[in-house]
């Protein structure tokens, strides 16, 4: 039994360390979810045509916001690729039921960078797709920070790279934050957004309902490898299962080795 306690304490220390590590990172990078709050729609950006646009003029229906940057070598392009894939799979019409806005968090990127990325991503979509239903925006550091702070999206610049999480933020046409959706992974370690999750998030945004989600796992962009992260998640899932089994073994040990405890439990149940 002593061995069970030793193993249990070791596992608990791993979990606590992981939680503390995540909390430490979240002070500079991560998501401070602001469900039910409104983002300011009076912010100007530039679209992929170089035209100055006001958010309130393009947020006219449920809108998905994706913070990224166009020359990213990490998760940004894979996540956008998955967005293109889920657009094809979901039984909603882009431009009619929802719009998407990808906002570059790099103030040095230009409308040309946005246009190149837009051409690359929209070429992956097979269904009828109005060009204006997915906007690729750039802006100055003030506009980017104002929008990111309002959405609770925290990122950090390290040289030419930006450390940030990968997720989608669903807002109503009034700018109300209704849902945060973090992608999962498929069996190959690639990003996966379930069409049902995407659709329900759009519906919540259409109704103006702020709905929390359970998954708080951060997906980091800097030096990020999805397959490695998937293995880490599997590891901690296995640890969780082992802890449950260990608790079960402990309860069984107490009940069978100490019959008085069993009698006491029976009395409590009665």
Q: What is the pTM of this model?
A: 0.71
Q: What 3-state class would DSSP assign to 32?
A: coil
- What is the pLDDT, as a whole number, of residue 253? 58
102 burial class (0-12, 13-18, 19+ CB within 10 angstroms)? buried
Q: Which of 66, 54, 78 is nearest to 136 (CA)?
A: 66
Chain segment 110-147, per-residue pLDDT in tens: 999 999 999 999 999 999 999 999 999 999 999 999 99
- What is the pLDDT, as a whole number, of residue 160? 86
- What is the pLDDT, as a whole number, of residue 85? 96
The Cα–Cα gap between 219 and 190 comes to 12
Residue 148 in contact with residue 154, Cβ under 8 Å? yes
- What is the pLDDT, as a whole number, of residue 188? 82
CATH class of the domain comprising 32-207:
alpha beta
**Which of the residues in the chain have pLDDT under 50?**
4, 12, 14-26, 214-234, 261-265, 267-269
Query: For the stretch 31-55, what's the b/e string if a residue is b when 16 or more beta carbons lie within 10 angstroms of its beta carbon?
Result: bebbeeeebebebebbbbeeeebeb
**Residue ranges, CATH 3.40.30.10, the chain:** 32-207
Count other Cβ atoms within 10 Å, centred on residue 27. Answer: 8
């Amino acid at each position: 039994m002593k061995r069970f306690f030793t193993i249990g304490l070791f596992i608990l220390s791993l979990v606590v360390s992981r939680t503390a590590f995540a909390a430490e990172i979240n002070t500079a990078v991560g998501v401070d979810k602001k469900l039910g709050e409104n983002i300011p729609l009076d912010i100007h950006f530039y679209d992929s045509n170089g035209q100055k646009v006001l958010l309130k003029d393009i947020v006219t229906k449920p809108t998905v916001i994706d913070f990224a940057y166009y020359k990213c070598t990490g998760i940004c392009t894979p996540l956008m690729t998955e967005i293109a894939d889920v657009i094809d799979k979901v039984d909603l019409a882009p431009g009619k039921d929802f719009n998407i806005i990808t906002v570059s968090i790099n103030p040095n990127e230009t409308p040309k960078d946005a246009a190149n990325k837009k051409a690359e991503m929209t070429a992956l979509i097979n269904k009828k797709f109005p060009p204006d239903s997915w906007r690729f925006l750039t802006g100055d550091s003030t506009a980017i920070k104002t929008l990111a702070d309002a959405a609770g999206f925290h990122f950090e610049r390290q040289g030419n790279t930006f450390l940030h999480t990968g997720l989608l933020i669903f807002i109503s046409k009034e700018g109300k934050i209704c849902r945060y959706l973090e992608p999962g992974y498929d069996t190959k370690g690639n990003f996966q957004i379930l069409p049902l999750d995407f659709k329900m998030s759009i519906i919540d945004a259409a109704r103006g309902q702020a709905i929390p989600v359970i998954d708080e796992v951060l997906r980091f962009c800097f030096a990020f490898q999805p397959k490695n992260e998937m293995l880490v998640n599997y590891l901690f899932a296995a640890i969780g299962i082992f802890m449950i089994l260990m608790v079960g073994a402990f309860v069984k040990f107490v009940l069978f080795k100490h019959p008085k405890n069993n009698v006491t439990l029976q009395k409590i149940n009665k």
